[in-house]
Chains A and B, each alone.
Chain A
Amino acid sequence: MRVDPVSGDTLVRKDTVYHTIAPFSFYNQEGKLVNNQTVDGKVYVADFFFTSCPTICPVMKKQMLRVYEEFQDEPDFKILSHTIDPSYDTVALLKDYAMRLGVEDDETWHFLTGDREKIFEIGQTSYLTTAMEDKNEPGGLLHSGAFVLVDREGRIRGVYDGTEKVQVDRLIADIPLLLKGHDQN
């Protein structure tokens, strides 16, 4: 009996159809282009935030730091944090933010900015998460605290609440399963 190591689903009687990530192209905190080739064959975690966010972002970043510290020496692991406020969160500002967070280079963790509509679109259609403008929200933007785990083939394999330590513990336990390639179906 085969079991999906991440979801725990039995894979005997059904075909699991994973959702895949559409083509994208953004700039990271060093001003370098980051696209599907950057994460081709890699395991990565994606999330959405903005630097001036007064609500859940600092908690998410605190939790993502734990993921970063655990896997920063793993060449096949990346983190893509997309800003949903790209007009304010420029390359220079993201660089400053990353440095202050303690992320000194862009080897593992990319802080991405780019076309606002494209960021909203990939958030909603590829990562199936909420990222949109909302005048009623503090900061004027609404987004979920989801951490989306993507495998080497660009398929979504898990979604975790990035504001909950317990869920992030699970994410940290799941990442090595995908890195080891135990997930061949």
Chain B
Amino acid sequence: MQIFHCYSKDMTRIKKDAWIVFLLAISLACGSEKAEEREYTIKDIDDLKTRQYAINGKVLYERLCANCHQEDGSGLGKLIPPLAGSDYMNEDIGRTIRIINHGMEGEIMVNGVLYNQPMPPNPQLTPMDISEITTYIYNVWGNKQGLITPDMVREHLEK
């Protein structure tokens, strides 16, 4: 509110400036508060194509993956590993693509916790489906990997 003293005597101008400073202060305060607890969602994806893929991917994710890995990617205790903030998932996109398609069995270490629950395969999914699912999970929960194309999926599946 210092602005009152250093500007001209034109009251309307002063009021206007003070009002702008006030609004700015509010929006800054809200912005910083949100930033701390915010989780990146589809709305935060800037690239239009990536966002389109992620929107379809979210639908598939909620139908096929969220029962176990949960809608927020948090997993379930030490039974089902988290996807959100998962070091294992972020290590290797190709491996994630192959696990979605072929399923997996045996022990894996995720964020320092040992998990051992089989994941069923999804042979019905096309490279397009997997492209959408992975684009979704790799661009929310703090991830920013960008678009994962069907061609990239095909390439990883051939390995």
Chain A residues with a Cβ under 8 A of chain B: 52, 54-56, 58-59, 61-62, 65, 97, 99-102, 138
Contacts and interface: CB of A to CB of B under 8 A. Distances in A.
A100 B79 contact: yes
Contact of A102 (B66, B70, B78, B80): B78
B142 interface: no
26 contacts: A54-B67, A54-B68, A54-B120, A55-B67, A56-B67, A58-B67, A58-B68, A58-B70, A58-B76, A58-B79, A58-B80, A59-B67, A59-B70, A61-B76, A61-B79, A62-B70, A62-B76, A65-B77, A99-B78, A100-B78, A100-B79, A101-B76, A101-B77, A102-B77, A102-B78, A138-B120
Interface of B: 66-68, 70, 76-80, 118, 120
Nearest to B68: A58
A8 B148 CA distance: 51
The 8 closest A-B pairs by CB, nearest first: A100-B78, A101-B77, A58-B68, A100-B79, A102-B77, A58-B76, A100-B77, A54-B120
Given A58-B67, A100-B79, A102-B78, 10 more contacts: A56-B67, A58-B68, A58-B76, A59-B66, A59-B70, A61-B77, A99-B78, A100-B77, A100-B78, A101-B79
Contacts of B70: 58-59, 62
A135 B77 CA distance: 29
A40 to B, nearest CB: 30
Contacts of B118: 52
A95 to B, nearest CB: 13
A76 to B, nearest CB: 25
Contacts of A65: 77
Contacts of A52: 118
A43 B10 CA distance: 71
A97 B115 CA distance: 11
Nearest to B80: A58
Contacts of A56: 67
B125 to A, nearest CB: 15
